[in-house]
A and B are shown apart, each in its own frame.
Chain A
Amino acid sequence: MTESSSQNTNVVAGELRAWNPKAVGEVIEFRGETTIVVPRELLLAAAQRCRDEAALQYNLLTDATCVDRFPQEPRFELNYHLVSIPRREKIRLKVRLSGDDAVVDSLVPLWPGANWLEREIFDLFGIRFSGHPDLRRILLPEDWEGYPLRRDYPVEGFRDIPSGGSLYRKSSP
């Protein structure tokens, strides 16, 4: 499994490098999975390359999700999982975003299915997707404050907690 995966890595990284040497920032191999780190500006074009190139054919965007590595910077990592149904291969594209400029191009023009995936990330992490047709909260109420899946958001949420001295104190978000 690892062998075929590393062959696959070479194919994808090679194709992307041949197209634009800057497109492949880093290649990570872990437990037979391949991750290609793509610079933010090139994400949309690199994903299009992955989808349309005859040697790659990653036609299914199966998942998109985010990891918050707070307090490290760049804190956000977006992971896009692509599957090539004709080639039976998987790949992960990763984009790193800093906390004060968490904006990335939307993949909805390539895969309409990215719509709700990106809305979920926007809802729970507060990352903005430029070019998204309908960037609204999806799981939480519209008037929710904050982004609960960020690491600096407590698991039990912000609420009145008992503390020394006064009976209840409003914890500040």
Chain B
Amino acid sequence: MTVVETAIGTAKTMVLNMGPQHPSTHGVLRILLELDGETVVKATPDLGYLHTGIEKSCEDKTYSQAITLTDRMDYLNPLGNNLVYCLAVEKLLGLEIPKRAQYIRVMLVELQRISSHLVWLGTHAIDLGAMSVFLYCFREREEILKIFELFSGQRMMTSYIRIGGLALEPPAGWRQAVERFLKMMPSRVDEYESLLTENRIWMGRTKDVGYISAEDAIALSMTGPTIRAAGIAYDNRKFFPYSSYEEFEFDIPTRTDSDCFARYMIRVAEMRESLKIVRQAMQKITDQGAIRTDAPGIVPPQREKMKTEMEALIYHFKIFTEGFSPAPGEAFVTVESPRGELGCFIASDGSPKPLRAHFRSPSYINLQALPKLVEGQLISDVIACIGTIDIVLGEVDR
């Protein structure tokens, strides 16, 4: 796809093609590495192998139909994608969401953050040679997926967060399931730390590897754990609270060493913070209350009402045939995904389909910094660096 220009003469260096089928790229990312011995002189990422045109497809769907597409971008964070899309459409419509639904959204998104960090930690460790961490992480992730299955019937592509609230009432027994997970998880995080944090091989592979200064990180538009590892406490949950995050107490872990080890420590600390948020959300979620806002013509009516009220039946029919039309305008919403700032920009022209739906995907923008991280490092460090940027190729290419 790309013609490689070498930075220095061809006699001294060789070009190595890494990917698109390489286990450490976690998808189909191709990187052209120009090497001088074992040192990386130049790295050129080449993307697009997974481009599916989701943004274009959104333009041909009604607002509610497009939710299922958002699941499939960042497949480790489908609920977060649902959330950012729904928040953007709700902003366009000017909808208020019931508190109960907001808290359930927060709880699920934080569980999702833990599960995403678990996949990250497991695969990153396996890339660097620590096999057993992978098995432990996926064991705990399975428990989270079971909770999602309980809520939505789906393990991964849940589409549980909908415009105006949630798809379904939380199931019976959800409290016990989440409670069980909360009881188990803190000691498991300690377990991962005892396997890795002071492990000399782990430290050797990650410390002082892939350094980026705070100024460079901001200039390259990096967000998420990578920028927090550089000492900048930028987190959308605190800076621009959405879905009632301002009511929760949690810390934003930061570090200043800005290497792969710091990024690892940040994500482990974030798992503990997410557990704190889930615990608070459980207390805030009441057993009774609306899970959807009352907005006829936008939010589907209850089944009961459809059988007794003619208006409800008409609204139901109209929502699923022609959709609803927000006022012309634009909305841009950002949330904190496990990878960084996930944004959704929607432009409406007053028709039932979006004029434009754009997703600011953190993986795509953070990946741009990869050459900065790896140039001058050893070839084995490239794998550590790709790992700690934490990319999901489905989101990079969309």
Chain A positions within 8 Å of B, measured between CB atoms, are 30-31, 33, 35, 59-63, 65-69, 77, 79, 81, 83, 85, 88, 90, 92, 111-117, 120, 124, 136-142, 148-149, 151, 155
Contacts and interface: CB of A to CB of B under 8 A. Distances in A.
A115 B219 CA distance: 11
Contact of B332 (A92, A124, A140, A149): A92
A31 B360 contact: no
Contacts of B220: 111-113
Q: Which 8 A-B pairs have the closest CB atoms?
A: A113-B221, A63-B360, A139-B48, A65-B358, A113-B220, A155-B60, A30-B329, A139-B51
Interface secondary structure of A, over-half rule: mixed
A113 B222 contact: yes
B1 interface: yes
B240 interface: yes
Nearest to B215: A59
B368 A116 contact: yes
Interface in B345-390: 345, 347, 349, 355-356, 358, 360, 364-365, 368
A66 B47 CA distance: 20
Contacts of A85: 218, 232, 234, 239
B59 A30 contact: no
Contacts of B398: 139
A137 B91 CA distance: 33
B332 A141 contact: no
Contacts of B364: 116, 120
19 contacts: A31-B94, A31-B331, A62-B341, A62-B343, A62-B360, A63-B345, A65-B358, A67-B330, A68-B356, A79-B330, A79-B332, A83-B239, A85-B234, A111-B219, A112-B220, A136-B2, A138-B48, A155-B57, A155-B60
A59 B360 contact: no
A63 B368 CA distance: 13
A142 B47 CA distance: 12
A35 B55 CA distance: 22
B240 A90 contact: yes
A155 B65 CA distance: 15
B397 A139 contact: yes
A61 B223 CA distance: 11
Contacts of B232: 85
B356 A33 contact: no
B347 A67 contact: yes
B334 interface: yes
A62 B334 contact: yes
A136 B398 CA distance: 18
A31 B92 contact: yes
B56 interface: yes
A52 to B, nearest CB: 13
